[in-house]
Amino acid sequence: MQAFADVVRAGKALYIGVSEWTAEQIRAAHGLAQELGVQLISSQPQYSMLWRVIEDEVVPACEELGLSQIVWSPIAQGVLTGKYEPGKQPPAGSRATDEKGGADMIKRWLADDVLTRVQQLAPIAGDLGLSMAQLAVAWVLQNDNVAAAIIGASRPEQVAENVKAAGVRLPDDAMKRIDEVLGDAATRDPALVARSTPERRPV
């Protein structure tokens, strides 16, 4: 936190944020930032329809402290686009075939049960005039504590398409249908936040 404060005082940043921190760490960081006279304004966690571990603890803590979420992987590494189909090999050149690390990130969602449920989101998106990717981005932006979603696009046209989700308000019945379709395929355990957040960070 002292290093963050030094960066702000040097004029190299106006505000600071953290990524993949637990609610407890965010509370402690917020207190230190206040002592040092700098503004901690954001948390940058993974968040999607399928990965909802921040909802029970991180989001309430941030709402209380006045921080917002800038979330990454709102499309769950591409799974929520519907391009991965149950019982079929991943498309050539997709993240699931990337042996440099991408395949490791996405494998948790490639079970046929999960992919089958994701395919059932297509009618919901269609009823709203959205692509499945747009539905996924709009869903994370529906959370009032989410200020922005980081899109990992590989082509310019993906950015053009996904940005159309900005300003879309999903009706309550669509939100309910999404929850019903995904059911226990969505990971919600708040304890999983700590898995990517070491208790003591090296200095």
pLDDT per position as a tens digit, 118-159:
999 999 999 999 999 999 999 999 999 999 999 887 788 888
Contacts of 81 (CB under 8 A, 6+ apart): 75, 131, 132, 133, 136
Instruction: Write out pLDDT tens, residues 80-127.
Output: 999 989 888 777 666 666 666 566 778 888 899 999 999 999 999 999
Instruction: Write out pLDDT tens, residues 55-76.
Output: 999 999 999 999 999 999 999 9
- Joined together, the tokens standing for residue 113 give 């049960």
Q: Give the pLDDT of residue 196.
A: 78
Residue by residue, DSSP assigns the chain as -HHHHHHHHTTS-S-EEESS--HHHHHHHHHHHHHHT--EEEE--B--SSB-TTTTTHHHHHHHHT-EEEEE-TTGGGGGGT-S-TTSPPPTTSGGG-TTTHHHHHGGG-SHHHHHHHHTTHHHHHHTT--HHHHHHHHHHHSTTEEEEE---SSHHHHHHHGGGTT----HHHHHHHHHHHGGGSB--GGGGGGGS-SS---
**Above 80 in pLDDT, residue 26?**
yes
Q: Give the pLDDT of residue 130.
A: 97
Q: Give the pLDDT of residue 173.
A: 97
Q: Indicate the pTM of the whole model.
A: 0.91
Q: How confident is the model at residue 9 (pLDDT cuts 50, 70, 90)?
A: very high
Q: Give the pLDDT of residue 197.
A: 79
